[in-house]
């Protein structure tokens, strides 16, 4: 048996590994297992293990992470993480797209939620734990103002581990599978470079990304039905990746009213 292991954190990374997971499963004719910190993402898709079974051939892509190493050492970043994970294990990249699956029961529940609530817009404006210093430079600086603007277009659902504390959005609570079901029920997911973007894209939900420090061409281009803000005021250093500036001009220039107008166009088809 071949077992793929990655115990390091990052739901988005786990999603972006799916094409690699699928290729390893196919090449080993199902004699394959997966050890991951987020097994609920792949429930029903692959055999899951808490630890690698005895005598299994273990492929570990967690320490050191090939993506972090590449992005930290490369001056001009030109590869996305789906490609980097595949190449790390010797596979070619041909535009493979991450894909997550819901059960028939979950799909039915998603449709029921859609009918019950009408137009729904998911919102996730923080990239990790709220105000996290490591990833917080990717956060959108006006979350409540944006929730207020988007609430004029439909039901806004705040999807993050920290509450938004606003009357303009429903504060989602639930398991990772619950989150996947709810994201599938959305008309649109508005989010920064975070897990919600990757879950939405891999489930086929339209994504409207709020990007600046990282490049959406590399982060979300491979997902179906994805859009992102085409223009914003660049400071001359974007995309700065892991050398963020103090002021984040690129994200501050994305005004809530401007985003609302773009989202309205998308919702109207």
Question: By the 8 A CB rule, do 128 and 161 touch?
Answer: no
pLDDT at residue number 224: 83
Question: 191-222: per-residue pLDDT in tens?
Answer: 999 899 999 999 999 999 998 888 888 888 88
Distance from C-alpha of 252 to C-alpha of 259, rounded to nearest angstrom: 12
Asked if residue 96 belongs to a domain, the reply is: no
Q: How many CB atoms lie within 10 A of CB 226?
A: 21
Last residue of a domain, one of 20, 54, 88: 88
Looking at the structure of the chain, the number of domains it has is 2
Q: What is this structure's pTM?
A: 0.93
pLDDT reading at 19 higher than 70: yes
Question: 118-177: per-residue pLDDT in tens?
Answer: 999 999 998 865 455 666 788 899 999 999 999 999 999 999 878 888 999 999 999 999
- Pick the closest to residue 101 from 179, 159, 41, 34 (CA basis): 41
Phi and psi torsions of 263, nearest 5°: -65, -40
Question: In the predicted model, what is the mean pLDDT of residues 234-262?
Answer: 82
Last residue of a domain, one of 88, 121, 154: 88
Give the pLDDT band of residue 246 (cuts 50, 70, 90): confident
Tell me the CATH number at 210.
Answer: 3.40.50.2000
Question: 33-80: per-residue pLDDT in tens?
Answer: 999 999 999 999 999 999 999 899 999 988 788 988 898 888 788 999
Domain that holds residue 72: 2-88
Asked if residue 93 belongs to a domain, the reply is: no
Distance from C-alpha of 44 to C-alpha of 127, rounded to nearest angstrom: 27
Q: Are 59 and 133 within one domain?
A: no
Phi and psi torsions of 102, nearest 5°: -105, 155
Q: Are 33 and 111 within one domain?
A: no
């Amino acid at each position: 048996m071949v077992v793929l292991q990655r115990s390091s954190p990052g739901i988005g990374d786990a999603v972006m590994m799916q094409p690699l997971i699928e290729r390893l499963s196919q090449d080993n004719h199902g004699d394959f297992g997966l050890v991951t910190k987020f097994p609920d993402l792949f429930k029903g898709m692959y055999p899951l293990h808490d630890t690698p079974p005895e005598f299994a051939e273990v492929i570990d892509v967690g320490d050191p992470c090939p993506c972090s190493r590449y992005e930290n050492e490369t001056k001009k970043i030109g590869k996305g993480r789906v490609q980097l994970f595949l190449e790390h294990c010797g596979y070619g990249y041909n535009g493979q797209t991450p894909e997550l699956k819901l059960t028939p029961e979950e799909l039915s529940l998603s449709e029921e939620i859609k009918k019950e609530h009408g137009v729904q817009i998911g919102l996730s404006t923080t990239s990790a734990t709220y105000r996290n210093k490591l990833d917080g430079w990717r956060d959108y600086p006006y979350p409540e103002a944006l929730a207020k603007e988007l609430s004029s277009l439909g039901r806004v659902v705040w999807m993050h581990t920290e509450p938004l504390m606003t009357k303009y959005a429903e504060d989602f609570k639930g398991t990772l599978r619950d989150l996947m079901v709810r994201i599938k029920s959305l008309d649109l997911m508005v989010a920064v470079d975070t897990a919600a973007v990757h879950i939405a894209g891999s489930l086929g939900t339209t994504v409207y990304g709020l990007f600046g420090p990282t490049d959406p061409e590399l982060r979300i281009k491979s997902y179906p039905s994805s859009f992102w803000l085409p223009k914003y005021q660049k400071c001359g250093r974007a995309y700065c990746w892991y050398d963020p500036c103090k002021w984040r001009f690129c994200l501050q220039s994305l005004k809530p009213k401007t985003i609302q107008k773009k989202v309205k166009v998308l919702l109207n088809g």
